[in-house]
A and B are shown apart, each in its own frame.
Chain A
Amino acid sequence: MSKEEIREIIYNIIKDIAPDEDLSNLDDSGTIRDQIELDSMDFLDIVLELRKRYKVDVPEEDYPKLATINGCVEYLEPKLKGACVS
């Protein structure tokens, strides 16, 4: 999966978890939770959706690495190598 594809799957997951949030102005380098209303329960759902959709396990100590969209992409790229967008 390319960086751009990974970025897109993250956006899709957030869109599903928080359908009322406007993501068009989201800054990929800024903390996601500072920009849109996402509580800790919602954040957990990002992790759980990654597991459900792409079989990626994110251990709890790595959660801080998912704080920004860019962080998510960096963190997930090696894990999603070879995976396809479904």
Chain B
Amino acid sequence: MSYDVVIIGAGMSGLAAGIRLAYYEKKVCILENHSRPGGLNSFYNLQGRQFDVGLHAITNYVKKGTKNKPLPKLFKQLKLKHEDFALREQKSSEISFPDMSLFFTNDFKIFEQEILDKFPSQKDNFSNLCKEISRCDELNLNSTPVSAREVVSSFITDPLLVEMLFCPLSYYGSAKEDDMDFDQFVIMFKSIFMEGFSRPETGVRQIINVLLKKYKACGGELRLKSGVKQINSHNGKVKSITLENGNVLETKKILSSAGYVETMRLTGEKIQPENGRIGKLSFVETIYVLDREPSELGMDKSIIFYNDSKKFLYRKPEDMVDLSSGVICCPNNFFFDNNPSEGMIRTTHIANFDLWDNPSSNDYRAKKILWQKKSLEKICTITPDFTSSIVFTDMFTPKTIKRFTGHLNGAVYGSPLKIKNGITPVENLFICGTDQGFMGIIGAMLSGISMANLHAMN
């Protein structure tokens, strides 16, 4: 078998890249290690219930007809319609710190007013920061990384507001401990505050199904349960790819969404040093199914980002889980046509991969139960107590993330060092997805599109 392009990974970036290439008549094959596409954002069924993995909310929401924003660009590039994703807007979200909270919706003016009311001294500073953000060309593939902490602190002089801005933006897309590249900060700031949150009417499978259908209609080939064993190169140039099952596929080019270090290991050409390139941030996530709508219990927010002190720490914790901060997502609290049949709350905290990876299987289960309980106690100090309404609980850990995504360290957002132009030391081998660096679901798809356009259309 011989292809123009082989794509590693049927996640959002791989599928989007695949659609572009197949639509423009490239012979393309997507290889997916698992039995189901989606990658970091996938879904599963358990006890008759359907659950999403990864996706809390899709960022970058803008209404149909809005021009020049990532979401409409994505639809144009993939020849899809706004309606195809069936996106429903959030109700409202909150950044919750001790004695201070900031409320936001998909209307940026409300967030500006909140900051004006709660941080009156920062009025001009915040407006200048917003000007800087609007000026930034965050999608420039050749920019040099600058510390977002430094830039933001040069505008905002109240440290509490700085921490409050970093909390949601870090949680939803930073691979760097305690900082972000300013470009990343801008991408996240625009996608969350200036644009907004939505969820597809039927969860992440809605998007995956639309992408798959489009990809297949364009003539693309998808191979599930097809892990890659090795990328074969000759004179530093891609030649073929060997699958776990021994099959060899000839290909002119490879686009890999497996992560930079992960991909380079497949080529046998280890990059030195590897260390600073492997992400450290992983998470535990718990899903609670409730016997009623969370709003009946007084939980009316779509998403709450909380931190229990004035300083927000975003780093690999000493302990298995860091409960001092977290994200609480209520998938019911979006403007759906048909309300989900059951109530659901999902919670996320930063976790330590090594400590979760080590224990024996008995101990692992016991630790899961212990931390789920501790987490629930903590969460119920932020939200109304929903403990007695829980009818089902499931939890996944950094170990689960590693197993299903192949990301080293279970690092959800991949490497702290992004390869924005996608170029690797091997000719005709390119990176897309998490380690290219456009974050979020929409960002991931745009990453696949940009890399396909830049490297694989000729």
Contacts and interface: CB of A to CB of B under 8 A. Distances in A.
A41 interface: yes
Contact of B68 (A17, A39, A45): A39
A42 B76 contact: yes
Contact of A41 (B25, B65, B67, B73): B73
A20 B76 CA distance: 11
Interface string A44-57: 11001001100000
A45 B453 CA distance: 9
A33 to B, nearest CB: 13
A48 B24 contact: yes
A77 B274 CA distance: 53
Which one of A42, A45, A51 has the greatest number of beta carbons of chain B within 10 Å?
A45
Interface in A17-37: 17-18, 20, 37
A18 B75 CA distance: 11
A39 B73 contact: yes
Contacts, number: 24
B76 A48 contact: no
A75 to B, nearest CB: 19
A52 B79 CA distance: 15
Nearest to B450: A41
Interface in B39-56: none
**Interface of A (DSSP majority class):** helix
24 contacts: A17-B76, A18-B76, A20-B65, A20-B67, A37-B67, A37-B68, A39-B68, A39-B73, A41-B73, A41-B76, A41-B77, A41-B449, A41-B450, A41-B453, A42-B76, A44-B453, A44-B457, A45-B76, A45-B77, A48-B24, A48-B457, A51-B24, A52-B24, A52-B25
A16 to B, nearest CB: 9
Nearest to A37: B67
Interface of B: 24-25, 65, 67-68, 73, 76-77, 449-450, 453, 457
B54 to A, nearest CB: 26
A32 to B, nearest CB: 16
A51 B450 CA distance: 19
B4 to A, nearest CB: 13
Interface of A: 17-18, 20, 37, 39, 41-42, 44-45, 48, 51-52
Contacts of B73: 39, 41
Nearest to A57: B458
Contacts of A17: 76
A51 B26 CA distance: 12
A48 B24 CA distance: 7
Given A18-B76, A20-B65, 17 more contacts: A17-B76, A37-B67, A37-B68, A39-B68, A41-B73, A41-B76, A41-B449, A41-B453, A42-B76, A44-B453, A44-B457, A45-B76, A45-B77, A48-B24, A48-B457, A51-B24, A52-B24
A7 B68 CA distance: 26
Nearest to A59: B458
Contacts of B77: 41, 45
B218 to A, nearest CB: 11
A10 B450 CA distance: 24
Which one of B24, B73, B457 has the greatest number of beta carbons of chain A within 10 Å?
B24
Contacts of B65: 20
Contacts of A52: 24-25
A55 B20 CA distance: 17
Contacts of A20: 65, 67
Nearest to B457: A48
Contacts of B68: 37, 39
A41 B68 CA distance: 11
